Amino acid sequence: GNSVTQMEGPVTLSEEAFLTINCTYTATGYPSLFWYVQYPGEGLQLLLKATKADDKGSNKGFEATYRKETTSFHLEKGSVQVSDSAVYFCALPYSSASKIIFGSGTRLSIRP
């Protein structure tokens, strides 16, 4: 069945640094791929998504490209801010598409 493997954290960066959080997947076919973000004490919210191969999802300065050759969906941001401190989850649907599975999450902390 489908699965997702995510870079372990925590990740600590200085403000304005470049961010990459790795995510690779195993899937039947080409399901949509998602990045969710969880700010402290809150539920998750969708950050961005890509629905087909070579699509690039983007939001709030974050980007991720759906790469079927490397089965990856890495999250990137060119210049992080303190307000980006959160836990980031890569996700994709189960094979049946009736539910979504999440990676283990990567905690990101940004130093001023």
Residues within window 67-96 making contact with another protein, judged by CB under 8 A: 89, 93
The yes or no reply on residue 54 touching another protein (CB under 8 A) is no
Helix (H, G, I), strand (E, B) or coil at 84: helix
C-beta closer to another protein: residue 17 or 24: 24
**Binding-residue pattern over the window 92 to 111 for another protein, x denoting contact by CB under 8 A:** -x---xxxxxxxxx------
Maximal C-alpha separation, the chain: 43
Q: Kindly give the pairing relationship between strand 11-14 and strand 106-111.
A: parallel
Half-sphere exposure of 98 (CA within 13 A, CB side): 2
Task: Tell me the C-alpha distance between 62 and 47, whole Å.
Answer: 8
Q: Which of 19, 23, 36, 77 binds another protein (CB under 8 A)?
A: 36
Distance CA 97, CA 14 (A): 38
Closer of 80 and 90 to another protein (Cβ): 90
49, 65, 80, 86: residue in contact with another protein (rule CB under 8 A) = 49
Q: Which residues are near another protein by CB under 8 A?
A: 6, 31-32, 34, 36, 41-46, 49, 51, 89, 93, 97-105
